[in-house]
Copies of this chain bind each other. A is one copy, B any other.
Amino acid sequence: MMAQQILLVEDDREIARIIKDTLIKEGYAVIWATTGIEGLEDFFSGNYDLILVDWMMPEMDGLSMIEHIRLQSDVPIIMISAKSKETDKVTGLQDADDYLAKPFSLEELKARVRSQLRRWQRYNKVFAADEMVSYEHGLKIDWVKERIYIEEDEVNLTQKEFALLKVLAQNPFELFTKEALYTLVWHQVELDQTHTVTVHIKALREKLHDPVKSPNYIQTIWGKGYRFIGEQV
């Protein structure tokens, strides 16, 4: 397995050395830049899994650097700063994913790096492999194989039905208007295709044995849209 690459942007030589040593011992590949400008150049010419950046630096501070990166990448960024006020934390977290106030322990550093890398991996994977999700009242969904079961019996969904269920079930409890569902499932700009959605919802409910009145899975929010309310087991 390729070592994960970390870009460290820190002007203080001493601190940089400590961080670098720590992370290398953890098995990461660490590249060190001393200014924001240099960090940007390194970032765009390399392939990094995580960025550690100091807030206060000469030339270009960490915040501006992050803004630039964020226009083009969602790579995890951890901001390091001597500022520890709550308001600073909020500002820092605008574009960064995590915030580390100086002084910090090396254990905390390692933990946060690990956590962000894990999140990044999860984010990059479309679905977790062999992920079978079970819900109350007998529904099971295998997202990888795209198979649906009700009480152990497989139900065959059509393309649209599956796509609908996917949007809904992967965003549980989130309300979707019919228009939103249409653009998400059909990927088209059409007005007033809401009837199509309604009809597919009905078909889906039927196949899931989901009663309209007291639903286990797809709930109608009157005047607004639909949402998935299945609780995972």
Contacts of A54 in B (CB 8 A): none
B94 adjacent to A126 (CB under 8 Å):
no
Question: How many identical subunits does the complex contain?
Answer: 2
Contacts of A167 in B (CB 8 A): 3
> How many residues on A have C-beta within 8 angstroms of the other chain's C-beta atoms?
62
Contacts of A158 in B (CB 8 A): 222-223
Q: Smallest Cβ distance from A229 to chain B, in angstroms?
A: 9
A29 adjacent to B122 (CB under 8 Å):
no
B159 adjacent to A224 (CB under 8 Å):
yes
| B-contact bits for A164-185, CB 8 A (1 contact / 0 none) | 0001001101111101110110
Also in contact, A70 and B118, with CB within 8 A (given A3-B171, A158-B222): yes
| Cα distance A147–B223 in the bound complex, in angstroms | 16
Within 8 A of B (CB), among A63-114: 67, 70-72, 74, 90, 93-95, 97, 111, 114
A189 adjacent to B20 (CB under 8 Å):
yes
Contacts of A174 in B (CB 8 A): 3, 47, 145
| Cα distance A146–B5 in the bound complex, in angstroms | 24
| B-contact bits for A185-207, CB 8 A (1 contact / 0 none) | 00111010000000000000000
